[in-house]
Amino acid sequence: MLINYAGMSVECAHKIILYDNLLATIQSNQSQDINSSSTNNKKKKNYGRLVKRLKHKIRSANLILQKTDKSKVFHLGTRQHYEKKSNEYMEKTKAYECLGENDPLPNLIERTNKYLLDLRLAHWITQKQYEILCVKPTEAKLAHLYYLPKTNKPGTPLRPIVSGLKHPTIKISKYLDELLRPLFDKIALKTTFTSGFDAMKERYGG
């Protein structure tokens, strides 16, 4: 897994910036008349400059501005904080490692496509299925680990999230889910509850 700290580095106390306030700050710089096309173009340019200045200040101060978990605020913290929490989580779970400059993606794509080709030649899948599931190098990315800070908890712990939407095997995973999901739902129908009411009804009758 690639480890993504989503930011820069540090020596400043953690702060919380309200999402709405941040937008208001940006939008307050765009008080031009929106009815004029020339004014609209000027507003877009000003907006772009403001965003660039904001990014530059964050980078030059070695800070990380990250959206928080389950709330409309941004967390402004240090890279040291993120690295410390990330290292603690990785050490605890033993499930991830930092790849550094090592990139296993090309080999993973090659192996996945070879496996699909073997299935096609053995007539386990059709040509159409092979073409749908085949991995295109320009569309594939390694799954990576990132974190969202929980500002409502003491010490601002991080919520780990694995993003694998463009992983080389994601098409195979989705295909198998579409294939097996109806069968699973049918088999598990009697033990599947879609609401708490259904669970209570089954438990106590009614």
Q: Does residue 37 fall inside a structural domain?
A: yes
DSSP 1: -
Q: Does residue 45 fall inside a structural domain?
A: yes
More confident residue, 198 or 101: 101
DSSP states along 11-59: -S--EEEEHHHHHHHHHHT--S-TT-HHHHHHHHHHHHHHHHHHHHHHH
pLDDT in tens, 97-147: 888 888 999 999 999 999 999 999 999 999 999 999 999 999 999 988 888
Token code pair at residue 77: 């913290």
Tell me what pLDDT residue 1 has: 43
Tell me what pLDDT residue 78 has: 82
Most confident of 19-33, 48-62, 104-118, 185-199: 104-118
Domain count within the chain: 1
pLDDT greater than 70 at residue 31: no
Q: Does residue 163 fall inside a structural domain?
A: no
Residue 135: exposed, middle, or buried by beta-carbon count in 10 A (0-12, 13-18, 19+)?
A: buried
Q: Does residue 31 fall inside a structural domain?
A: yes
Q: Does residue 195 fall inside a structural domain?
A: no
Tell me what pLDDT residue 111 has: 96
Q: Does residue 151 fall inside a structural domain?
A: no
**Window from 28-32, 46-50, 129-133 with minimum mean pLDDT:** 28-32
Token code pair at residue 4: 């993504």
Q: Is the dihedral of CA 127, 128, 134, 138 positive or negative?
A: positive
Average pLDDT for 5-34: 48
Q: Does residue 113 fall inside a structural domain?
A: no
**Reported confidence tier of residue 10, pLDDT bands at 50, 70, 90:** very low
Tell me what pLDDT residue 122 has: 96
Q: Which domain holds residue 44?
A: 7-98
Tell me what pLDDT residue 24 has: 59
Q: Does residue 83 fall inside a structural domain?
A: yes
